[in-house]
């Protein structure tokens, strides 16, 4: 389960809730689904309804000792077992240990002839038997709308559905009803009419060829809830919802300092280096030494026994460690020691939300002290600029919240663009440095300038950045240019 | 012409005879002894006596007393009549008051 953040602890609610155990969902619902009541989950095909419902049952059974009944109208028991084993849920053993009961409901329109008045007592009997057999506290009906394909008398069906939901409430089970998205209504047959307590909608949208799954709480009677659309991911551990847009600017502030790994740069930064847990942005044109700059920092961090996580969007792990070796930085030994992890993938691999999710997961697993993102601006290529900015803000906020120091590089194609960094991420950062290339005679020289550094006195000179066989060095520019600025 | 016509007739008759000789296995699932259940039992008994005399097996089950039957028999609606034999399997949901539809479904009367 996700550790409760400041959001969840604020929750004061009289409405009893049942924790889902699904990462992030309990946070945006402020404690889970309404206990003892039905919740409707709607969405188009393949958006993860069945998965969410099943995970709710499995986690309920495993983490909260609440056995569950899964009434499947669409998939056979065997299919469910197979589908969910790939997500790490062993349904067979849950069934064996009486934590889960699955009842597959077979409906075949062509076999059914309606010959007069009827009710759906058979469904009730089966559900009651399944609930009683394991003492279930949770129930999933996936998806009850299949009844509409089997029976033609909708007035009977509607009356029976109404009775069913009342019955579920009387039984006191926490239920999830799934429903296929309809054209005008939330679900094809307007189930929202009967399940009025809590409605969650899922969807899977494609924007510029990149698909993102999103979850939204449409209503939650008697409780407050996050109103945004939250991205979610289906990973090896089931669903993860990421409520990161709700983070406040409330991260704990540290006045501890952390060295940049370059002695002469520390001198420029008030003689002490960066603030711990701050965000550092290094902008520069191609070949100005941004990656080396980052590597030097990582090397220093690992040398001090701290952990660093590096998101590389341009180079693979092998390439990066080979290249850095040429300037005397041996990254491989930190990787071998387990102090450094390089997560390399292309920015276009997936959508921004997915990157965020992956970063989130990696950070949670690795628990780094320092995160390096090289370069942060490639992410813009995998989404719209506004989205990218929001996503980067969320990423930085999330890392800062955990007290992690962030060093991000920013590929600035037009080095003279000045203070207007492409998407204004500089305002999110506490320390901003600019690397540039200047032509001096026949030679191009690397230069470094500190543009800003919040909360400390810092040097304003532009200095030489020299890449040596032993890492980076910063020196005063020799000769006349020394006092230009 | 006349010959072939009578041939068809003969074929039809034997077919009908065969149909008539087939034994019917019927299961009626009811939920308790509600008026609706009783009506269904009455109706199906009447149909059996009238059309299937001597060649049917009718079992009546109460799913309240034996809920596992509801699961095993894939029962949703109540009352449900299942024609197990002759194949194909058919399900009739309701109090069987629509005799016409029941007869057609049981293959005892052709659709008009």
> Which residue has tokens 């450094």?
A340
Q: How far is CA A349 from CA A48, A318, A355, B94, in A?
A: 21, 19, 9, 55
CA distance A118 to chain B (A): 4
Topology alike, domains A6-246 and A257-483: yes
Question: Which pair of tokens denotes residue B101?
Answer: 């539809």
pLDDT of residue A139: 92
Q: Residue A478's Cα: distance from chain center in Å?
A: 48
Rounded to whole angstroms, the Cα distance separating A328 from A247 reads 40
Over the stretch A227-275, which tens digit does the pLDDT of each residue have?
777 878 787 777 877 665 445 555 567 788 888 888 888 888 888 888 8
Where do the structural domains in chain A lie, given as residue ranges? 6-246, 257-483
Place of tokens 């041996």: A330
Query: Would residue B4 count as lying in a domain?
Result: no
pLDDT band at A316 (very low <50, low <70, confident <90, very high): confident
Q: Calculate the alpha carbon distances from A279 to A104, A303, A364, A427, A436 in Å.
A: 53, 21, 18, 10, 20
Query: For residue A39, what are its two tokens?
Result: 């919740």
Domain annotation covers residue B3 = no
The parent domain of residue B69 ranges over: 22-105
- Is residue B9 assigned to a domain? no
Determine whether domain A6-246 maps to CATH 3.40.50.300: yes
Q: Kindly report, residue by residue over A443-463, the tens digit of the pLDDT.
A: 888 888 888 888 888 888 888
Cis (ω within 30 of 0) for the bond into A151? no
Question: Which chain A residues are closer than 8 Å to B105 by Cβ?
Answer: 113, 115
Cβ-Cβ contacts under 8 Å, B96 against chain A? 115-116
> Over the Cα atoms of chain B, what is R_g?
17
| SS3 state of residue A475 | strand
Q: Which of A115, A129, A130 sits opposite B93 (nearest CB)?
A: A115
**Which candidate, B104, B103, B112, B110, places its Cα nearest to that of B46?**
B103
Query: CA-to-CA distance for A415 and A417, rounded, in angstroms?
Result: 6
Residue A395 token pair: 């990423």
Domain count, chain B: 1
Antiparallel, parallel or unpaired: β A471-475 and A257-258: unpaired
- Quote the tokens at residue B106: 């049981």
Query: How far is Cα A217 from Cα A220, in angstroms, rounded to an integer?
Result: 7
More confident of the two residues A102 and A470:
A102
pLDDT at B47 over 60: yes
Burial class (CB in 10 A: 0-12, 13-18, 19+), A350: middle
Q: How far is B49 from chain A (nearest CA, A)?
A: 18
Nearest-CA residue of chain B relative to A112? B91
pLDDT at B112 over 60: no
Which pLDDT value is given to residue B15?
63
The mean-pLDDT minimum among A10-14, A111-115, A328-332, A445-449 falls in: A10-14
Residue B41 lies in a domain: yes
Closest by Cα among A344, A359, A382 to A244: A359
pLDDT at A479: 64
Query: What is the rounded distance in angstroms from the CA atom of residue A462 to the CA atom of residue A446?
Result: 10
- Separation between Cα atoms, residue A367 and residue A373, nearest integer Å: 15
CATH classification at residue B60: 3.40.30.10
What is the distance between the alpha carbons of residues A224 and A392, in angstroms, rounded to a whole number? 27
HEC string for A233-262: EEECCEEEECCHHHCCCCCCCCCCEECCCC
Quick check: B64 and A117 CB within 8 A? no
Q: Is A110 on the interface with B (CB under 8 A)?
A: no
Q: What are phi and psi for residue A454, nearest 5 degrees?
A: -65, 135
| ipTM rounded to 2 decimals | 0.79
Look at residue B95 and tell me if it is in a domain.
Answer: yes
Q: How far is B97 from chain A (nearest CA, A)?
A: 5
Rg (CA), chain A: 28
Q: Which residues of A touch B39 (CB under 8 A)?
A: 116
- Return the CATH number of A257-483, one of 3.40.800.20, 3.90.1170.50, 3.40.50.300, 3.40.50.11900: 3.40.50.300
User: What is the spatial distance between Cα A441 and Cα A455, in angstroms, rounded to a whole number?
Assistant: 38
Determine, yes or no, domain membership for B112.
no
Residue A5's pLDDT is what? 45
Residue B5 to chain A, least CA–CA distance (Å): 34
Evaluate whether A49 touches A187 at the Cβ level (below 8 Å).
no
């Amino acid at each position: 389960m996700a550790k409760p953040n400041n959001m969840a602890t604020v929750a004061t609610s009289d409405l009893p809730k049942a924790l889902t155990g699904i990462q992030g969902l309990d946070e945006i619902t402020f404690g889970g689904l309404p206990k003892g009541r039905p919740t409707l989950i709607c969405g188009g095909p393949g958006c993860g309804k069945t998965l969410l419902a099943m995970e709710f049952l499995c986690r309920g059974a495993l983490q909260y000792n609440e056995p569950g009944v899964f009434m499947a109208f669409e998939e056979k028991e065997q299919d469910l077992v197979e589908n969910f084993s790939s997500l790490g849920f062993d349904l067979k053993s849950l069934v064996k240990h009486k934590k889960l009961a699955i009842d597959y409901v077979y409906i075949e329109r062509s076999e059914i002839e309606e010959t007069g008045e009827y009710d759906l007592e058979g469904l009730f009997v089966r559900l009651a038997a399944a609930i009683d057999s394991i003492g279930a506290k949770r129930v999933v009906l996936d998806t009850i709308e299949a009844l509409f394909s089997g029976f033609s008398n909708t007035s009977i069906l509607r009356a029976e559905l109404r009775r069913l939901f009342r019955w579920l409430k009387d039984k006191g089970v926490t239920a999830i009803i799934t429903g296929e998205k309809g054209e005008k209504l939330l679900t094809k047959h307007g189930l929202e009419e009967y399940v009025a307590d809590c409605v969650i909608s899922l969807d899977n949208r494609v924007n510029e060829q990149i698909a993102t799954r999103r979850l939204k709480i449409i209503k939650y009677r008697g409780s407050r809830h996050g109103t945004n659309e939250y991205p979610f991911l289906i990973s090896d551990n089931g669903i993860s919802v990421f409520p990161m847009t709700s983070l406040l600017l409330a991260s704990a502030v540290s006045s501890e300092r952390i060295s940049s790994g370059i002695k002469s740069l520390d001198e420029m930064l008030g003689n002490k280096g960066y603030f711990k847990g701050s965000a550092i942005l290094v902008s520069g044109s191609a070949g100005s030494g941004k990656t080396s700059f980052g590597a030097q920092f990582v090397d220093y961090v690992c040398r001090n026994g701290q952990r660093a996580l590096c998101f590389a969007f341009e180079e693979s792990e092998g390439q990066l460690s080979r290249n850095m070796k040429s300037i005397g930085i041996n990254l491989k030994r930190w990787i071998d020691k387990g102090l450094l992890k390089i997560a390399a993938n292309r920015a276009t691999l997936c959508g921004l939300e997915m990157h965020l999710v992956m970063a989130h997961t990696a950070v949670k697993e690795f628990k780094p002290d320092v995160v390096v993102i090289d370069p942060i601006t490639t992410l813009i290529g995998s989404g719209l600029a506004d989205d990218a900015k929001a996503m980067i803000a969320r990423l930085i906020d999330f890392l800062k919240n955990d007290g992690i120091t962030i060093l991000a590089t920013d590929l600035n194609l037009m080095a003279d663009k000045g203070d207007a960094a492409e998407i204004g991420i500089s305002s999110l950062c506490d320390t901003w440095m600019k690397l540039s290339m200047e032509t001096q005679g026949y030679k191009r020289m690397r230069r470094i300038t500190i543009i800003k550094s919040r909360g400390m006195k810092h040097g304003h000179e532009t200095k030489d950045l020299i890449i040596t066989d032993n890492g980076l060095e910063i020196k005063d520019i020799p000769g006349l240019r020394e006092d230009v600025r | 012409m006349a010959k072939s016509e009578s041939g068809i007739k003969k074929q039809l008759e034997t077919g009908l005879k065969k149909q008539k000789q087939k034994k019917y296995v019927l299961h009626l699932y009811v939920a308790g002894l509600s008026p609706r259940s009783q009506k269904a039992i009455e109706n199906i008994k009447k149909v059996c006596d009238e059309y299937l005399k001597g060649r049917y097996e009718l079992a009546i089950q109460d799913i309240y007393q034996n809920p596992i039957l509801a699961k095993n028999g894939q029962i949703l609606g109540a009352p449900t009549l299942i024609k197990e034999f002759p194949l194909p399997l058919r399900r009739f949901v309701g109090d069987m008051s629509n005799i016409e539809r029941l007869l057609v479904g049981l293959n005892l009367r052709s659709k008009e």
